[in-house]
Structure 1
Amino acid sequence: MVKLSGGDPALLRRLNVVAVLRVLHAADELTFTELVRGSQLSRPTVEEIVSDLEQQGLAEEVRPAPDGPRPVGRPAKRYRFRPEAGHLAGVDIGPHKVLCLVTDLRGDIVSSARAEVDPEMSAADRLAAAREVIERATRGHRLRALGVGTTGVISEGKVVVSDRLPDWQGLDLAGELGSGRPYPVLVANDTKLATLAEHWRGAARSVSEVIYLMVGRSISVGVLIGGRLHLGYNGGAGEIGVLREVGWYTALDRVRSYGPERLFAAVRAGDPEAATIVTAFVKDLATGVAATVLTVDPQLVVIGGGLSRAGQQLAERLRAELARLLLFPVQVETSILGEECVALGAVRLALDQVEAELFIVEEARR
């Protein structure tokens, strides 16, 4: 608890509310005594705050089960944080699909919807598909924030650079999807959001220095430094794939011409031609990855995107090639989140916004 002498009573009140809310949120349920002890506040203060939180729908008393054991004497009051008090949504707007996930305030998925879209679809039609998917997924849920992931360099909710979707560059995506909505709409690059998702729920949990490599129809990089997503001055951190000299474009061309799933199946079957293509692909891939790793010095490289389905066939080859290029060995793993990765990252973006509103105290103005 932060103790203040004098000062702003409203700030002190906010500090106390946050202290109680944090303790409630961190546990499944607590007795009133445990809540007092955890928040380090007086019983009357906690009693008043819990009453207010109940009125807001953020907390509730846990009643004993009617068919449960009956304790001797007066049972201790128990309380819990209500994650169902609000919902968040994360939407992935890509070349081939729109996927929306809806979660409660703990990030547990409660609803989803998706639609198949065409890479050549107009921006207006893609936006219409996104609105329809969001509407289906969120129907009946009270949203507090919406996160959006899409291809391109994003700055302040706008797509400032994009060459993969028709008419996408210059689009004010936050404005288009936020118009008329009573909650914030937050937009970020899809690879960067996938990086967030891996740190939250995937292979990079508890790892603070991470390079995320999205390898699919294109190749892009997300960077996590000190547990925080690194965006860069213009929002373009990690976009090294635009350098043709890195060789990522031609590397992907060879894989696509063979067919990714067919290619790795052929490698497993011992096909020498397929093995030669994969070896060349990994060598080209490793050049750009090594440059990023030498710059950031991460603990972990995570391979995501469509080619992550190759699993250890790709991870082991990349690990070996990086070992030849780097000063220090680096761990290489494949994503475990599948096609939900970007949408989950968009949920995490929205959840960060809501958790800041619930659990962070802004400093009083001087």
Structure 2
Amino acid sequence: MPAIDQSGMRRLNTAATLRVLTDASGTLTSADLVAQTRLSRRTIELIVGDLIAQGWVDEADSPAPTTAGRPKKYYRLVADRATVLSVGINPPLVRAVVADLRGREIARAEGPSGTVADTLDSALRLASEALAQANVDPDHLHALVVGLGGTFSPDGVVLTSPVDPEWVGVDVREPFARRFDVPVVVENDTNLSALAARAEGPARGEQTFALLMPGIRVSAGVVINGELHRGFQGAAGELVRLPDLRDANHRGLLAQISSPDERERVDARAHLRRAIDGDPAVREDARAFFDAVARVVAVLGWVIAPPVIVLVGGFEGLEDGTLALLRDALSTMDAPDIDIRVAALTPDFPVRGGIQLALDIAGATIFDPRR
């Protein structure tokens, strides 16, 4: 019988214990850790001692008054022992957010976009500013995600851009990888919005769904069995490339409902409110827009067949009326019966999704028993 690799087993048990502490909403006792890891009390005591020495865990006060007898020890994760960085390039703003191992925002920096070169320079500067504001050890940064519109090669070169053709051919990943010595991933911003919707938004907990952002860009983020579906060259969901859908969605003020410019979203929302209220002056505009959206929903429904489709845009306070207009358009089509949800899309969705993706990347190392 081959000898047991005691060192490997210790790393495996340490990774499992650290994962339990990370997933916990509060403090845990040794007994809690024993129950959840199924390790012996002595093993847990040794592992927790190591994690405290390494700065991953500290002792916490008792959440309730202690009674007679030996007091229990409570432990909690030092969440900012590992941090991630999410950078969102979503003109007219660039955002950089530092988050801890639980996804809690620690610091952020924002600034305007400009030309491609200026925007990249701004994104790098803001990323450094956010890390400085976070006041955490640079060695504790574990992953960085950059989100923007378009499709990208595996090494982060822009293949297509719905925002500005000047981005095509730009290596977005390289300057970040040169400045920050961590894994860097460049991802489509709608895909990142889908991850945010699953983690903390209208698709919370869903394993398979599609997030659809109608309007000028017409894009979708698809999650299948908990994983992003990117497709060939990352083009899955880039429906803006289909001329008939693009042209249909470009018509009228409602096309600005998912614009990154807040002023345009406000104007589109006012237009949508009039349509919901039955204003005949905007009826045809609304019908054309929602017919186009319904066609996309039907295509997604039949081709991907997700149980849930989330429609996102500047729909704050108008979710129910928007859903009614969409269902009316769908009633004339042979579309599958799908749970359709309408939600507001905040400018923070892509950067929040970037945090989720960065945490997944970091976790592959932090919770790897081979580390």
After TM superposition, the score normalised by the length of structure 1 is 0.88
* Pairing 1:133–2:126 present: yes
Structure 2 residue aligned with 1:12 = 9
Structure 2 residue aligned with 1:312 = 320
Deviation at 1:279, TM superposition (A): 1.2
Aligned to 2:167, what secondary structure does the other structure show? Answer: coil
Of residues 151-160 and 261-270 in structure 1, the stretch that sits farther from structure 2 once superposed is: 261-270
Listed one character per residue, the Cα deviations across residues 69-124 of structure 1 (whole Å, up to 9, x for unaligned) are 3531220111112212122221210232112222211011222222232xxx3211
Aligned to 1:329, what secondary structure does the other structure show? Answer: coil
**Code of the aligned partner of 2:146:** V
Listed one character per residue, the Cα deviations across residues 1-35 of structure 1 (whole Å, up to 9, x for unaligned) are xxx97353333222111221122223211111221
Q: 1:268 to 1:345 in 2, by over 3 A?
A: same
Deviation at 1:203, TM superposition (A): 0.4
Aligned to 1:276, what secondary structure does the other structure show? Answer: helix
**8 Å Cα contact 1:190/1:342 also seen in 2:** yes
Aligned to 1:335, what secondary structure does the other structure show? Answer: strand
Listed one character per residue, the Cα deviations across residues 214-259 of structure 1 (whole Å, up to 9, x for unaligned) are 234421111111121101132111122211123x323323236895
Of residues 313-322 and 179-188 in structure 1, the stretch that sits farther from structure 2 once superposed is: 313-322
Q: 1:146 to 1:257 in 2, by over 3 A?
A: closer
Structure 2 residue aligned with 1:159 = 158
Structure 2 residue aligned with 1:220 = 219
Matches within 5 A, 1:210-359: 210-246=209-245, 248-255=246-253, 259-306=267-314, 310-336=318-344, 338-359=346-367
**8 Å Cα contact 1:210/1:301 also seen in 2:** yes
**Code of the aligned partner of 2:57:** A
- Rounded Cα–Cα distance in structure 1 between residues aligned with 2:335 and 2:273: 33
- Rounded Cα–Cα distance in structure 2 between residues aligned with 1:6 and 1:310: 65
Q: 1:235 to 1:315 in 2, by over 3 A?
A: same
Q: 1:331 to 1:172 in 2, by over 3 A?
A: same
Structure 1 residue aligned with 2:176 = 177
Q: 1:308 to 1:235 in 2, by over 3 A?
A: farther
Number of paired residues? 354
C-alpha RMSD of matched pairs (Å): 2.5
- Rounded Cα–Cα distance in structure 2 between residues aligned with 1:29 and 1:261: 44
Deviation at 1:356, TM superposition (A): 1.8
Q: 1:70 to 1:199 in 2, by over 3 A?
A: closer
Deviation at 1:165, TM superposition (A): 2.0
- Rounded Cα–Cα distance in structure 1 between residues aligned with 2:84 and 2:345: 19
Structure 2 residue aligned with 1:24 = 21
Structure 2 residue aligned with 1:122, among 115, 126, 143?
A: 115
**8 Å Cα contact 1:112/1:137 also seen in 2:** yes
- Rounded Cα–Cα distance in structure 2 between residues aligned with 1:82 and 1:225: 32
**Code of the aligned partner of 2:221:** G
- Rounded Cα–Cα distance in structure 2 between residues aligned with 1:107 and 1:351: 7
Aligned to 1:338, what secondary structure does the other structure show? Answer: coil
Deviation at 1:326, TM superposition (A): 4.0
Structure 1 residue aligned with 2:34, among 36, 39, 42?
A: 36
Structure 2 residue aligned with 1:199 = 198
Q: 1:216 to 1:141 in 2, by over 3 A?
A: farther
Identity of aligned residues (%): 32
After TM superposition, the score normalised by the length of structure 2 is 0.87
**8 Å Cα contact 1:323/1:329 also seen in 2:** no
Deviation at 1:317, TM superposition (A): 1.8
Deviation at 1:323, TM superposition (A): 4.5
Point out where structure 1 has 5 or more consecutive residues left out of the alignment.
none
Q: 1:353 to 1:70 in 2, by over 3 A?
A: same
Structure 1 residue aligned with 2:55 = 57
Of residues 126-135 and 348-357 in structure 1, the stretch that sits farther from structure 2 once superposed is: 126-135
Aligned to 1:275, what secondary structure does the other structure show? Answer: helix
- Rounded Cα–Cα distance in structure 2 between residues aligned with 1:109 and 1:326: 44
**8 Å Cα contact 1:255/1:281 also seen in 2:** no
**Code of the aligned partner of 2:76:** R
**Code of the aligned partner of 2:115:** S
**8 Å Cα contact 1:294/1:326 also seen in 2:** no
- Rounded Cα–Cα distance in structure 2 between residues aligned with 1:273 and 1:245: 25
Aligned to 1:325, what secondary structure does the other structure show? Answer: coil
Q: 1:40 to 1:70 in 2, by over 3 A?
A: closer
Structure 2 residue aligned with 1:190 = 189
Q: 1:8 to 1:305 in 2, by over 3 A?
A: farther
Deviation at 1:293, TM superposition (A): 1.4
